[in-house]
């Protein structure tokens, strides 16, 4: 940044850096070297401030308004966790330090954070050991399925299939397929849970395991887990718990106690890390004792003298799945979050998350069709089927909410429910904010009855209204907002 401003102060256009200040790599062919100073835009500090402030306003943020995006747990992230992650003693560490001779003593604090986080997550989930390395939920799934494969290989099992309910997050079948398995999809029953009869029908000795989200993406807690788990274990299969929805059960129910062998958690959902737009994330994987030896390297260990070290000597390990030790900044935020809330605070988190979702479901029930009419967990699932009959679809309601300053809920997911609208308020929203959301939804329903055509123009307040989202993702134009002068 310093160079940019030095070169561009008014009156110093064309200013060339003294030769000695330009870092020239002698091994680079001269035809690749720049002959003139780089041309940066001519801007004052004020212009820069305004540019970024303007951009930040275009970016929807939880710091400004409710973000009830189902399946994403967009909760408020306490600023305290940001402070912890920014502490120079952590932030300035070089990731190679632990491997340098004598470097270990400089990273004892960081290793202790990793060690304690693993233990605390183990306590929360009822798992024997954790790896903090996976860099996202999907990466945790892949790691988990690779651990499953290592387990079966070591036992000489010939397994081909992973069973996944049809309500699962799309990453589940993708991860299982990348790890080399074929997918068997099992349909949901009328109450939103897994259809046990259909599960029994596909169960054979070639089943490696079952991936399950609980509560699932219907926002429903599956009360047949113990039975499902017994069925899977009977064919020497393993139970995989997709813990991305842990915000519903944190401190209330431990996957390890109900028969799961592996879990992944999304620290960036349940444990308060800013996320969205693709990252950064952290998807730690926990396992029961019989799978521990397969965990990725390195492992943090505590020596008899109380000091911490990294252990790479793990002959049965599936190997490296990420560089260094995972997304350390995210792990640090989760650590700070757990310290901040304590055991009772974490328990209160899921209590309030579930209460808030049920409050929304109850208040919106008259206006919107509920997908499953039963107590929901941390998110509630509606269908815009009544509004669709009037020509207004889930996407139209979502776009209408944008003009109210509200981030839309998730729409058209899960795929098992037509015109799905999936609302996850999280525990950090107040009663007042929930009521504002309810009012906006009720208003949208009223408008659908009186003037359905109005919906075609929403949103009216955004620079882009209704992009072709697939095209926008594939042919991204990041210069769209750049000043054209």
Ligand X SMILES: *Cc1c(COP(=O)(O)O)cnc(C)c1O
Residue closer to ligand X, measured from CB, 273 or 383: 273
The minimum distance between CB 249 and ligand X, in angstroms, equals 13
Q: Is 424 in the site for ligand X (CB under 6 A)?
A: no
- Total residues in contact with ligand X, by rule CB under 6 A: 14
Neighbour count for residue 418 (Cβ, 10 Å): 13
Among 46-54, 149-157, 241-249, 403-411, which window interacts with ligand X (CB under 6 A)? 241-249
Q: What phi and psi values does residue 348 have, to the nearest 5 degrees?
A: -65, -30
Closer Cβ to ligand X, 244 or 398, answer by number: 244
Q: Which residue is nearest to ligand X (CB)?
A: 137
Based on the shown chain and the rule CB under 6 A, indicate whether residue 244 belongs to the binding site for ligand X. Answer: yes
Tell me, residue by residue from 186 to 225, as one string, x for binding to ligand X by CB under 6 A and - for no binding.
Answer: ---------------------------x---x--------
Residue from 179, 211, 219, 242 in contact with ligand X (CB under 6 A): 242
Interface characters, 256-275, with ligand X (x: CB under 6 A): ----------x---------
Q: Is 245 in the site for ligand X (CB under 6 A)?
A: yes
Of 393 and 407, CB closest to ligand X: 407
The mark string for 120-159 relative to ligand X (x by CB under 6 A, - otherwise) is: ----------------xxx---------------------
CB 268 within 8 A of CB 280: yes
Out of 77, 143, 171, 288, name the contact with ligand X by CB under 6 A: 171
Among 165, 209, 281, 425, binds ligand X (CB under 6 A): 281
CB closer to ligand X out of 193 and 281: 281
Does 284 contact ligand X by CB under 6 A? no
Residue ranges that bind ligand X, judged by CB under 6 A? 71, 136-138, 169, 171, 213, 217, 242, 244-245, 266, 281, 283
């Amino acid at each position: 940044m310093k160079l940019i401003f030095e070169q561009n102060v008014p009156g110093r256009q064309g200013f060339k850096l003294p030769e000695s200040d330009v870092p020239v790599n002698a091994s680079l062919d001269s035809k690749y070297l720049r002959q003139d100073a780089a041309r940066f835009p001519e801007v004052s500090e004020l212009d820069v401030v305004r540019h970024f402030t303007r951009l930040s306003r275009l970016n929807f943020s939880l710091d400004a308004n409710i973000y009830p995006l189902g399946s994403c747990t967009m909760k408020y992230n306490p600023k305290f966790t940001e402070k912890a992650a920014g502490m120079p003693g952590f932030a300035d560490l070089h990731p190679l330090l632990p491997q340098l001779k004598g470097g270990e003593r400089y990273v004892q604090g960081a290793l202790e954070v990793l060690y304690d986080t693993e233990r605390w997550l183990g306590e929360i989930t009822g798992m024997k050991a954790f790896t903090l390395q996976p860099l996202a939920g999907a990466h945790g799934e892949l790691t988990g399925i690779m651990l499953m494969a290592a387990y079966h290989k070591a036992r000489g099992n010939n397994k081909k299939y992973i069973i996944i309910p049809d309500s699962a997050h799309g990453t589940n079948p993708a991860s299982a397929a990348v790890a080399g398995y074929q997918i068997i999809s099992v349909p949901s029953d009328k109450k939103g849970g897994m259809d046990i009869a259909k599960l029994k029908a596909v169960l054979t000795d070639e089943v490696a395991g079952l991936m399950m989200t609980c509560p699932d993406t219907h926002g429903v807690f599956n009360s047949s887990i113990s039975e499902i788990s017994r069925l899977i274990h009977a064919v020497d299969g393993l139970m995989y718990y997709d813990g991305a929805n842990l915000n519903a059960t944190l401190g209330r129910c431990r996957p390890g106690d109900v028969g799961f062998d592996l879990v992944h958690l999304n620290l960036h959902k349940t444990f308060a890390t800013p996320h969205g737009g693709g990252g950064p994330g952290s998807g730690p994987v926990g396992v029961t004792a019989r799978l521990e030896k397969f965990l990725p390297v390195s492992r943090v260990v505590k020596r008899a003298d109380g000091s911490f070290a990294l252990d790479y000597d793990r002959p049965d390990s599936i190997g490296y799945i990420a560089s260094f030790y995972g997304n350390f900044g995210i792990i640090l935020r989760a650590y700070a979050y757990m310290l901040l809330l304590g055991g009772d605070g974490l328990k209160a988190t899921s209590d309030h998350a579930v209460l808030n979702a049920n409050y929304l479901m109850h208040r919106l029930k008259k206006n919107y069709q509920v997908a499953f009419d039963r107590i929901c967990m941390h998110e509630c699932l509606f269908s815009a089927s009544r509004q669709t009959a009037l020509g207004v679809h889930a996407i139209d309601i979502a776009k209408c909410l944008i003009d109210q300053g509200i981030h839309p809920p998730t729409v058209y997911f899960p795929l098992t429910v037509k015109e799905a609208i999936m609302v996850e308020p999280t525990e950090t929203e107040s009663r007042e904010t929930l009521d504002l959301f309810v009012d906006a939804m009720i208003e949208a329903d009223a408008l659908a009855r009186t003037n359905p055509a109005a919906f075609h123009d929403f949103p009216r307040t955004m620079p882009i209204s209704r992009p072709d989202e697939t095209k926008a993702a594939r042919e991204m134009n990041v210069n769209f907002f750049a000043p054209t002068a």
